[in-house]
Chain A
Amino acid sequence: MRKRAGWAALVAAGVGLALLITLFSPFASSSPDGLNKVAQDKGFHQAEKGPSYEIIPGYSLPGIDNPHLAKILSGIIGVLIVTAIGLAAGYGMRRAARSRAAEQPLSNASGTTPSGGAGRT
């Protein structure tokens, strides 16, 4: 049997691919998205309020002169933040599921059945 990649390998490959794809972010379409286009065409884009603070507005890292590099770097930052949040959430849910499983014998003794859906690992 050919060995199939496990979840850890898939996650690593996914993050690697996402980082690789940031290299192509300078080629992203600069046209407005569907809602923005309609808002401009129909004149309700002025209803949009500006942000109260700015970190990386417009997906271009401030302080970098080369616009393409600024966009790629902002993409890398975005991938890293989302990956970190995702891994943290996954770790937290796994821990919660494990501690729930540890309590299971007690609740089983009292006649309740383990809830379906939760605790998939």
Chain B
Amino acid sequence: MTTLLGFFVGPWAAVLIMTTVVGVQALVFQDGGLAALGANVFNMGILTAFVGYAIFRGTVTVARGSRTAMLGGAFAAAWITVMISAFATSAQLAISGTSPWGVVLPAMMGVHALIGLGEGVITAGAVGLVLSARPDLLRVPTAIAPAPSYSTYTGESA
């Protein structure tokens, strides 16, 4: 989620948005928890926004306009950040004595390996749509921005 957001608004704003969402969930909807708010912002906001953005930006640089490579990078960024998030959460649960490492780590990584696939498909799908319609909305340096051929439809002007 935060990873995809970061592609459009950059990692800093993505963290701000995720903090708003998680904060409203905790304060208004009694979901996620007030005591766990810091952990949630760190695991699902800060970690995912910056790592995901770095992975995507890296692939965009290497891809040199290849649509397939960019979609692969988006998928990988989403899956990897879900796994990093799950690892961080497991570590916090283990260190706080809530659940032993050997129990919580394999369980969390296993479940989230599957969740990450769904997250990856949604992220790559969204990036694919934007590449076709408005590639200028992706927040990547103009020097490595997607080739204008993606937006050839602008030529159909009246």
Contact = CB atoms under 8 A, between A and B. Distances in A.
Contact of A81 (B16, B24, B93, B115): B24
A44 B99 contact: yes
A35 B108 contact: yes
Interface in A34-76: 34-35, 37-38, 41-42, 44, 47-49, 51-52, 54-59, 74
B30 A56 contact: yes
Contact of B108 (A4, A38, A49): A38
Interface bin, chain A: 20 to 34
A51 B30 contact: yes
A82 interface: yes
Contacts of A59: 29, 31
A77 interface: yes
Contacts of A89: 16, 20
A1 interface: yes
21 contacts: A1-B157, A34-B111, A34-B115, A35-B89, A35-B108, A37-B111, A41-B107, A42-B104, A42-B107, A44-B98, A48-B33, A52-B34, A58-B29, A58-B30, A74-B29, A78-B24, A78-B28, A78-B29, A81-B28, A82-B20, A86-B20
Given A42-B99, A55-B29, A81-B28, 13 more contacts: A34-B86, A34-B111, A35-B108, A38-B104, A38-B108, A44-B93, A44-B98, A47-B98, A56-B29, A59-B29, A82-B24, A85-B24, A89-B20
